[in-house]
Amino acid sequence: MTMEEIKASIRCVPDFPKKGILFRDLTTLFKNAEAMKEVEEALVKKYAGRGITKVVGIESRGFVMAAILANRIGAGFVPIRKKGKLPAETREVTYEKEYGTDIIQIHQDALDTSDVVLIHDDLLATGGTMEAAIRLVKTFGVKKIYVNFLVSLDDLNGRDFLDSEVEVESLMHF
């Protein structure tokens, strides 16, 4: 299965979550075992050997591939979640997103200065959530940060709002 075939398998839902939005639904990719395997292999090929010690997944669809990738490259998995979902002491960041304001949190003991981190999310739209995640991870003083998306919606220019010092890659572009 090629990346173009995988890209074609992603469902487009018009007017969700509000009128005028064309929502890219990656659940149609996730339910296809062959597509999942191809995406997994592409991510492993891209990030194995980079010294990554932690893969951070953003709630909730970012958890899917982040945990798989962490396992495959021998790194730990760390979740970034919405406020109030983590049970221990946290750090948090408030940010603006396309539909309002939100807060994300990470456990206080999740990362340290020796970590090389890959932050993963399923889709880059306007960049607000990932920009906040990068700020949050930077509070730990980690050695290096990589960022990965399965899909980038290039016409929304979300990449423009992400830290220029961070290497950002997407497997597929719309």
| pLDDT of 98 over the 70 cut | no
- Mean pLDDT for the stretch of residues 111-128: 96
In this structure, of 10-19, 25-34, 92-101, the range with the lowest mean pLDDT score is 92-101
96: pLDDT strictly greater than 90: no
Residue 110 · residue 153 · CB < 8 Å = no
| pLDDT score of 17 | 87
- Cβ neighbors of 104 (< 8 A, separation 6 or more) are 58, 59, 80, 81, 82, 83, 92, 93, 95, 129, 132, 133, 136
pTM above 0.85, yes or no: yes
Domain spans, the chain: 50-173
How far apart CA 122 and CA 148 sit, in angstroms, is 8
- Assign a CATH topology to domain 50-173: Rossmann fold (3.40.50)
Catalytic residues: 61, 98
d(CA 93, CA 112): 18
Q: Are 39 and 114 in contact (CB under 8 A)?
A: no
> Within 13 Å, how many C-alpha atoms sit on residue 121's CB side?
22
Can you give the pLDDT at residue 99? 66
Report how far residue 90's alpha carbon sits from residue 50's, in angstroms, rounded to the nearest whole number: 27
User: Tell me: the pLDDT tens digits for 26-57?
Assistant: 999 999 999 999 999 999 999 999 999 999 99
Give the E-state strand segments of 34-131 in sequence order: 54-58, 76-82, 90-97, 100-107, 116-124
